[in-house]
Structure 1
Amino acid sequence: MYTPEIAPVADSLLWSSLLAILPLLTIFVTLGALKWKAHWAGLTAVGVALIVAIAAYGMPVGLAGLSATQGFAFGLFPIMWIVITAIWLYELTVRSGHFEDLRLVINVISDDPRIQAIIVAFCFGGLLEALAGFGAPVAITGVMLVAVGFTAMRAAVVVLVANTAPVAFGAIAIPIITAGTLTGIDYQDIGAMVGHQTPFLAAVVPLFLVLLVDGRRGLRQIWPLALVVGIAFGLAQYVSATFLSVELTDIISSLVGLAAVVIMLRFWKPKGGQDALDRMAYEREHEGADAPDAGSASSAMATDVKKETAPLTGSRVFLALFPYLLVIVIFSVAKLVPALNNWLASTDVKIPWPGLHGDILDAAGEVSTSTVYNFQWLSSPGTLLLISGIIVAIVYKMSAKDAVDVFIVNVVKMKFSILTVGSVLALAYVMNLSGQTITIGTWIAGTGAFFAFLSPILGWLGTAVTGSDTSANALFATLQQTAAHEAGLNPLLLVGANSSGGVLGKMVSPQNLTIAATAVGLLGKESSILRRVIGWSLGMLVAMCLLVGLQSTVLSWMVPSH
């Protein structure tokens, strides 16, 4: 039996934390500073985590190795299963010839790339986050932006920055429900707390997207629309999370944001759209080192955005939108019809990890439940995307041979992405089960009342390591609750802050960087993407820390009573 120690190095929380953080430093230094390929960075970080677990924490070699294998398996299924099927669904539309029509349909709403970034990455991405989560929004919206003429690098950065505000309520509020289950706090109250924090992000993210697409010039021309959409999304998030439904928050706010775009464009026409298109076309021709790899996802539709085509007919519009409408319908039914949702969940196969389960205790001395692998063969979003893809292939009249060929080519092309995400989840499991993550968290939590200003950092850290706000809450929600009691703070505030801070770690998590790079065809360029998004992540994290700190003092009226 192995029980992780909180401070195994000289009984010092500080020294233990400095050692425990080495695997994280390894992955960010090798990826960000040394520009290693993501899979090498991930594998090296796993090696460092194993050394720290065995040498410093005294974890038996066998248990440490088995922790890594369970994490790797989780990285393959369900995480990469979701990404593989999401990109396969998109590749089917390319092979069938209908993807080009989607670009034309988006152009009908607006051919201004700055507005397209808001519609696709922020509004539609939020809807996909609500229904699927776990990387699917980044994968699908990334290829959609490349299709409408974005360079691969710009598309990757835009979708990663956009995938923030909706994340806490993603996959029908799974992160918040997880936090409620672990802490015993009503998840509706936690949702309301998060709904008093993330709308401030939602209000400004569309402005950031315009800045990323077209710089200050674009911001001067588009800011009224970006601000209206951000505020509409944020207000809908606040109202839904507080008064209506935590589970439906992202669906409601995404649709409200999309409606705000459509309504405002009826009464207000922005300037500079054609200039932005011309600059984007020029940039696309001169992508250079950041051009998609030959045979990659995005290179299939590196089309001239000005290409003249026949007028769109109703059937062409329907077939172009069909895959995405189908995904929304299938996920909505699967997630929102309780009887079907419960039946799908009942098909999950719980597998106690051989040689590991029962041999690891958590810090409280209880047998760890993290060593049970949940094989969601039917309820996984990846399987629902597979079903969607099969229906799309039938509707598009593709042969089974063609559809299978697209799938196989897709998997082979993504082999290094699969290795990267598997190694990152192996790293997360070794750090979690050995006690390294809790050591870091306990150290940060030992700052007394000032911890309110730091609590979002724990959520950020958890999501940066695991790529999942749900996992960040699983790691740190109870720690936040305990630290709040010790520091005389409101536990609801800090548990909510864990989820709100976590959404900002999503864009720098190696898992999500790899998903974005794979989708747009920049596999191996994860370090370049990281350098472009790390400033946005840290900047918004500082703002969230300030907000939560103020909510613990002068803005305490913003904390819902429960």
Structure 2
Amino acid sequence: MWALAQYQQDPEAVGGLGLSALVSVLPLAVVLVLLGALRVRAHWAALAGLGTALVVAIAGFGMPFGMSLSAAAHGAVFGLFPILWIVVNALWVFNMTVATGHFDVLRRSFGTLSIDTRTQAILVAFCFGGLLEALAGFGAPVAITSVMLVALGFAPVKAAVVALVANTAPVAFGAMGVPVITLAQVTGLPLDVVSSTVGRQTPLLALFVPLVLVFIVDGRRGLREAWVPALGCGVVFALGQFLTSNFFSVELTDIVASLAGAVTVFALARVQPNAVWAARKPALTTGGSSTGTPSTGGGSTGDGDRDPEETPDSPAEIRKAYAPYAIIIVVFALAQLPGIKDLLASVKIAFAWPGLDVLTPDGARDKVNDFSFAVLSTAGTLMVVAAVIVAVVLGVGARRTITTWTTTVGELKWAILTVASVLALAYVMNASGQTTSIGLFVAGAGAALAFLSPVLGWFAVAVTGSDTSANALFGSLQVTAAQGAGLPPELLASANSSGGVLGKMLSPQNLTIAAAAVKLDGQEGTLLRKVIGWSLGMLLILSTLIALQASPVLSWMLP
């Protein structure tokens, strides 16, 4: 079964390019219909799509049976290492902060920086949600920030809508950069090029998102009274994303941007202490609290989860709550230093994947044949180093640290199966030539493809709920289509991820999480109607930007 006979991809294997492309769409159609129309669980939909891809590869494209299974196995292993290796260890650090109570300290710290609801939306939903996206992802930012906003006094529907809309700009670099890392791997494009290009698209969304949140919370009055923190946070967050993704570290992009945005709002509040949006909670003292709460244009709220008679968190505890993020930044920064970076990168596992000998349509050796795993320099391993230091700083014992890791793996068991299945599906489609068929057919759209490419990513994430999955499914397709249409492949590949972030708020997964978190079970349709306009509006802006970047007008923006 595993005897190696070379397999050369033929994008016209099923009676011409048009029919071959139509048949190649079947695996994707199975996944999207099962998820979007029939509401089948994601792991079952991914497995069904994988089975369909194998059938199409073997029966339609003539790929040897053993080679098709080998391609699937290759994709599944890549899904585990490095993708899920990063996700599990990032969430492990977050779960340690939850277990020790320092997550609640950090949450309260954000909640007490201002009692103005507009400012709280920026700090909690956008900045803190960005931090959660950087470490946890998978719906955690929406679930946690929406609950926090309700605790701060927001109406449930408004809290859910704010959390959903805020969970946009950070998504492409979420989970320590996993969506972008996946995109680079499946397309064969250099990670620094993909990261830099995405980092010149999503930051422009970040400029507007805080202003949108302020408008959702308090309409035109909100924009009139709280545009300073909204614009200031948006600009600094955007700069943080751009600079970190282009010149520093793709994994740290959201952490740096989110913390910088929050610090900016805090600094502006110190500069304008009498501004209505900067109104702060009176200092709490043991045995009572001071009086005279200032009024706010957006309405003031109390901290819903703390007794007003309770002593506030000490400065030492607040520092420890922020410490994990500082530790992660330091660990990743040290790993980028000359000498250390090369040393870490030199330790890797690389070999020709057994059972694969695939040639591209032009006869070159396909990249799908090779497996490579940078053992020490990968973000997942660096997160292990950071986690050990975090455990010491937070006082988590060795047994509890290990238990938290195993619990994290248990929590992610279905996500692990889903990601491994989606990557297996992507590798089978790429190896057999199905992706090439679709890409060459779509390339017929010509210059209009640049405008439409973000829409494809938007649609994929709206259905799958994952920018990582969308990049795995459509990343190579975008590159093939770009090459056929004479467009920069890195531009369209990056547009897939950037467009995908705007589909996140519409995905059934995120809508269900938001509704359940604020106890609005069965009202997903209500939330959808409230966010779809924002999603489509920002998608139109992004598609126009991508089209201009593909033209001489803004081509200078590309790396």
Please give the TM-score of this superposition, normalised by the length of structure 2. 0.75
Deviation at 1:460, TM superposition (A): 5.8
Matches of 1:392 and 1:153, distance apart in 2: 31
Structure-2 residue corresponding to 1:387: 385
Out of 101, 106, 109, the residue aligned to residue 97 of structure 1 is 101
Relative to structure 1, is the Cα distance of residues 552 and 341 closer, same or farther in structure 2, using a 3 angstrom cutoff? Answer: closer
Matches within 5 A, 1:201-220: 201-210=205-214
Partner secondary structure for residue 304 of structure 1 = coil
* Structure 2 residue 14 is matched with structure 1 residue 9: yes
Contact 1:111 1:273 in 2 (8 A): no
Matches of 2:88 and 2:117, distance apart in 1: 27
Out of 54, 58, 65, the residue aligned to residue 54 of structure 1 is 58
Matches of 1:251 and 1:339, distance apart in 2: 25
Return 191-200 or 316-325, whichever deviates more.
191-200
Deviation at 1:67, TM superposition (A): 1.4
Structure-1 residue corresponding to 2:292: none
Structure-2 residue corresponding to 1:339: 339
Partner secondary structure for residue 556 of structure 1 = coil
Matches of 2:515 and 2:412, distance apart in 1: 12
Matches within 5 A, 1:114-513: 115-119=119-123, 122-123=126-127, 136=136, 141=141, 145=145, 148-149=148-149, 157-158=164-165, 160-164=167-171, 182=189, 197-210=201-214, 222-234=226-238, 257-266=261-270, 267=272, 268-270=275-277, 275=299, 304=305, 309-334=310-335, 336-356=336-356, 359-457=357-455, 467=468, 475=476, 479=480, 482-485=483-486, 491-492=487-488, 495-506=490-501
Relative to structure 1, is the Cα distance of residues 497 and 445 closer, same or farther in structure 2, using a 3 angstrom cutoff? Answer: same
Deviation at 1:221, TM superposition (A): 6.1
Deviations 1:224-263 (A, max 9, x none): 5323432444467678999x87979878765654444223
Deviations 1:399-450 (A, max 9, x none): 2122222222222232212111111111211122122222222222122333
Relative to structure 1, is the Cα distance of residues 226 and 52 closer, same or farther in structure 2, using a 3 angstrom cutoff? Answer: farther
Contact 1:127 1:251 in 2 (8 A): yes
Matches of 1:27 and 1:308, distance apart in 2: 53
Matches of 1:394 and 1:410, distance apart in 2: 19
Task: Supply the AA of the counterpart residue of 1:392.
Answer: V
Structure-2 residue corresponding to 1:289: none
Relative to structure 1, is the Cα distance of residues 338 and 363 closer, same or farther in structure 2, using a 3 angstrom cutoff? Answer: farther
Structure-2 residue corresponding to 1:294: none
* Structure 2 residue 553 is matched with structure 1 residue 559: no
Structure-2 residue corresponding to 1:76: 80
Matches of 1:117 and 1:87, distance apart in 2: 24
Gaps of 5+ in 1: 282-302, 486-490
Deviation at 1:315, TM superposition (A): 1.1
Matches of 1:406 and 1:518, distance apart in 2: 23
Return 536-545 or 495-504, whichever deviates more.
536-545
Contact 1:138 1:516 in 2 (8 A): no
Deviation at 1:191, TM superposition (A): 7.7
Deviations 1:74-107 (A, max 9, x none): 2222222222222221222222232221122222
Relative to structure 1, is the Cα distance of residues 74 and 514 closer, same or farther in structure 2, using a 3 angstrom cutoff? Answer: farther
Partner secondary structure for residue 5 of structure 1 = coil
Partner secondary structure for residue 10 of structure 1 = coil
Matches of 2:216 and 2:383, distance apart in 1: 30
Matches of 2:140 and 2:235, distance apart in 1: 25
Return 253-262 or 66-75, whichever deviates more.
253-262
Partner secondary structure for residue 351 of structure 1 = strand
Deviation at 1:322, TM superposition (A): 1.2
Deviation at 1:549, TM superposition (A): 2.9
Relative to structure 1, is the Cα distance of residues 224 and 314 closer, same or farther in structure 2, using a 3 angstrom cutoff? Answer: closer
Partner secondary structure for residue 375 of structure 1 = strand
Task: Supply the AA of the counterpart residue of 2:276.
Answer: K
Partner secondary structure for residue 73 of structure 1 = helix
CA RMSD between the two structures:
4.6
Structure-1 residue corresponding to 2:287: none
Matches of 2:183 and 2:422, distance apart in 1: 23
Structure-2 residue corresponding to 1:285: none
Matches of 2:538 and 2:47, distance apart in 1: 29
Contact 2:87 2:178 in 1 (8 A): no
Deviations 1:128-184 (A, max 9, x none): 98xxx6x756677567636745689669735642325767x958986898899849x
Matches of 2:301 and 2:368, distance apart in 1: 49
Relative to structure 1, is the Cα distance of residues 534 and 25 closer, same or farther in structure 2, using a 3 angstrom cutoff? Answer: farther
Matches of 1:181 and 1:355, distance apart in 2: 20
Deviation at 1:461, TM superposition (A): 7.6
Partner secondary structure for residue 8 of structure 2 = coil
Structure-2 residue corresponding to 1:63: 67
Deviation at 1:2, TM superposition (A): 1.4
Deviation at 1:457, TM superposition (A): 4.7
Contact 1:175 1:469 in 2 (8 A): no
Deviation at 1:197, TM superposition (A): 4.2
Matches of 2:215 and 2:396, distance apart in 1: 40
Relative to structure 1, is the Cα distance of residues 8 and 210 closer, same or farther in structure 2, using a 3 angstrom cutoff? Answer: farther
Contact 1:236 1:252 in 2 (8 A): yes
Relative to structure 1, is the Cα distance of residues 125 and 275 closer, same or farther in structure 2, using a 3 angstrom cutoff? Answer: closer
Deviation at 1:199, TM superposition (A): 4.0
Deviation at 1:330, TM superposition (A): 1.0
Matches of 1:469 and 1:91, distance apart in 2: 26
Deviations 1:454-495 (A, max 9, x none): 34456668987871798689725753663354xxxxx45x63
Deviation at 1:352, TM superposition (A): 2.3
Relative to structure 1, is the Cα distance of residues 306 and 443 closer, same or farther in structure 2, using a 3 angstrom cutoff? Answer: farther
Matches of 2:428 and 2:49, distance apart in 1: 10
Matches of 1:222 and 1:337, distance apart in 2: 40
Deviation at 1:45, TM superposition (A): 1.5
Partner secondary structure for residue 109 of structure 1 = coil
Deviation at 1:319, TM superposition (A): 1.2
Task: Supply the AA of the counterpart residue of 2:14.
Answer: V
Partner secondary structure for residue 436 of structure 2 = helix
Matches of 2:312 and 2:369, distance apart in 1: 56
Q: How high is the sequence identity, in percent, across the aligned residues?
A: 38
Structure-2 residue corresponding to 1:546: 544
Aligned residues: 516
Deviation at 1:108, TM superposition (A): 3.5
Structure-1 residue corresponding to 2:110: 106
Structure-2 residue corresponding to 1:293: none
Deviation at 1:314, TM superposition (A): 2.1
Matches of 1:180 and 1:56, distance apart in 2: 23
Task: Supply the AA of the counterpart residue of 1:3.
Answer: Q
Contact 2:166 2:209 in 1 (8 A): no
Matches of 2:182 and 2:424, distance apart in 1: 21
Matches of 1:407 and 1:193, distance apart in 2: 34
Relative to structure 1, is the Cα distance of residues 275 and 116 closer, same or farther in structure 2, using a 3 angstrom cutoff? Answer: closer
Task: Supply the AA of the counterpart residue of 1:351.
Answer: F
Structure-1 residue corresponding to 2:26: 22
Contact 2:444 2:485 in 1 (8 A): no
Partner secondary structure for residue 39 of structure 2 = coil
Please give the TM-score of this superposition, normalised by the length of structure 1. 0.75
Contact 1:70 1:429 in 2 (8 A): yes
Matches of 2:367 and 2:545, distance apart in 1: 34
Matches of 2:263 and 2:128, distance apart in 1: 11
Return 90-99 or 116-125, whichever deviates more.
116-125
Contact 2:479 2:492 in 1 (8 A): no
Deviations 1:273-318 (A, max 9, x none): 875858xx9xxxxxxxxxxxxxxxxxxxxx8366653122221111
Matches of 1:521 and 1:391, distance apart in 2: 34
Gaps of 5+ in 2: 1-5, 151-155, 278-294
Contact 1:46 1:426 in 2 (8 A): yes
